[in-house]
Amino acid sequence: MLSGILAFSKPPAGFEAPGTEILKTACVIGDGTYCVNRVALYMFLSVIIVLGLFLAAFRKPNLVPRGLQNVMEAVVEFVRNQIAIEVIGPAGVSWVPFLTTMFVFIFVNNIFEIIPGIQFPVNSRMAIPAFLAALVWVLFNVAGARAQGLGHYLRNTLFPPGVPVALYVLVTPIELVSVFLVRPLTLSVRLLANMIAGHLILTIFFVGTAYLLAKPATIPFAIPTFALSVFLVGFEILVSVLQAYIFTILTAVYISGAIHPEH
């Protein structure tokens, strides 16, 4: 009975479900451990795209914005009002350039997932999320030390005021781990895992659809899987925007927590 179910539920012979090997890329320029591979090329491309977008939009700004300038002004305004001022407060205005650049850079790197001809999310390799998280870690610590003074910042973070003295035995190790270790880890792994999951799901669905199309008997099953694949592409656009938004807003929250002491 059980073996019958297992035999029935197995995929037909010949179908190899794609795994994490689709995230591995070969060297394009140079060879060995340190070389420029396809992902690095896409990252250079995204840097050029971000630079080009901002330069084209704001090199000769018009009083009445049109076209690209209109779009980019909406992006800047969104980051300024919905992220910087909403989370950090009036002091957040000086962080808008950094937050906007990071938002657009992460979004462009994510959206490569569904651009035909590229179809590889740059953020699904650990290097870029890890670097961005390390950058954010350095920034919020430096911002806190500059706003409060290093000793005061560390004391406020590790020994939060308003806690009974005996509880510091418990609170201080938790704060130490959660602020200085877990924050950069979750920040990078969240972005990475979302992009790996999206890339894998899209690959599995499209490869599966192509496999079902190969035999006449399975073509009827290919129609719903193809419809769901198209739906998933739309879902991945949403995930790309949302992950860029979440990364940026968490950066703003960390900076806000560092520069505003809890009395």
The footprint of other proteins (CB under 8 A) covers: 2-3, 6, 20, 82, 86-87, 186, 189-190, 192-194, 196-197, 242, 245-246, 249-250, 253
The nearest distance, CB 215 to other proteins, in angstroms, is 25
Shortest Å distance, C-beta 201 to other proteins: 11
Q: Do 48 and 72 touch, CB atoms closer than 8 A?
A: no
Name which of 56 and 86 has its Cβ closer to other proteins.
86
H helix and E strand count, the chain = 9, 2
33 HSE (CA, 13 A, CB side): 0
- Given phi > 0 = left and psi -120 to 50 = alpha, else beta, which region is 89? left
Closest CB to other proteins among 48 and 93? 93
Closer to other proteins at the Cβ: 110 or 194? 194
Q: Nearer to other proteins by C-beta: 50 or 120?
A: 120
Q: Nearest approach, Cβ of 231 to other proteins (angstroms)?
A: 20
Q: Closest CB to other proteins among 81 and 218?
A: 81
Nearer to other proteins, 57 or 109 (CB): 109
Q: How many whole angstroms separate alpha carbon 227 and alpha carbon 205? A: 10
d(CA 215, CA 205): 17
CB of 89 to other proteins, least distance (A): 13
Smallest distance, Å, CB 198 to other proteins?
11
Handedness of CA 155, 160, 165, 168 (dihedral sign): negative
Which class for 7: exposed (0-12), middle (13-18), buried (19 or more C-beta within 10 A)? exposed
Q: How far is the CB of 213 from other proteins (least distance, A)?
A: 26
Provide the CB-side half-sphere exposure for 93 (13 A, CA): 2
